[in-house]
Amino acid sequence: MNPYRIDFDLITGFCKSGIVKPVQRRVSNMKTQFLDEKAAQKAIEDGDPILYEFNTLLNEEKHSALAFGTTIIYPGKIGDEYYMTKGHFHTVLDTAEVYYCLSGNGFMMMETPEGEVDIKELHPGEAVYVPGRWAHRSINHGKEPFVMFFVYPADSGHDYGTIETKGYRKLVIEKDGKPIVIDNPNWK
């Protein structure tokens, strides 16, 4: 395999050259994951907005290779809950990931299968190291798009099903204009 170059705008996260195309996730792609299912249903009927987009270079799916790209989480809420990504474990559970915040701000919510929970707030120029075994979800509680550059081992794989089935143990909602972390009453 030969080296290659690719552009990701340092503010918007998008690839202007078009080498990689963004993939969109809308409310309809994760409506059962929001606390307020009625608000999610209404948002879908009102135009099904894009919650987030990502631009991923997969490269060779072998462990010595790396996948990388950018993710853009838009500002907004479904009910009192901020726009967020689905969240996932890696299929190869023990593989790590690095996220580096380029613009906007938000949270990285992380949890292990055993129930440890950690949350880190990120601002531009801050990175978070997500060790192996930690599921991770990005949440935008700011007013601008929350944009990060990410890198992970190319054979990590994405296990979305565990989170879709069980939910996250914790959620971030807005109360009195501020983000607070609550237990997820729907967690199984």
Task: Quote the CA–CA distance of 77 and 56 in Å, as a whole number.
Answer: 25
**Cα angle, residue 22 at apex, residues 110 and 172 outer, rounded to 5°:** 30
Pick one of 21, 38, 42, 63: the residue that binds a second copy (CB under 8 A): 63
User: Residue 58, interface with a second copy (CB under 8 A)?
Assistant: no
Task: Quote the CA–CA distance of 126 and 148 in Å, as a whole number.
Answer: 10
**Contact stretch for a second copy (CB under 8 A) within 26-34, 65-73, 157-165, 175-183:** 65-73
Residues 44 and 27 sit within 8 Å (Cβ to Cβ): yes
User: Residue 52, interface with a second copy (CB under 8 A)?
Assistant: no
User: Residue 169, interface with a second copy (CB under 8 A)?
Assistant: no
Select 81 or 97, whichever has its Cβ closest to a second copy. 97
Task: Quote the CA–CA distance of 16 and 188 in Å, as a whole number.
Answer: 42
User: Residue 50, interface with a second copy (CB under 8 A)?
Assistant: no
User: Residue 92, interface with a second copy (CB under 8 A)?
Assistant: yes
Q: Least CB distance from residue 66 to a second copy, whole Å?
A: 5
DSSP 80: T
Pick one of 43, 128, 163, 173: the residue that binds a second copy (CB under 8 A): 128
Start-to-end C-alpha separation, the chain: 44
Select 118 or 164, whichever has its Cβ closest to a second copy. 118
**All residues at 6 or more sequence positions from 144 whose CB lies less than 8 Å from its CB, including other chains:** 75, 103, 104, 105
Question: What residues make contact with a second copy under the rule CB under 8 A?
Answer: 1-10, 57, 59-60, 63-66, 68, 92, 94-98, 100, 102, 108, 110, 116, 118, 120-122, 124-132, 134, 149, 151-154
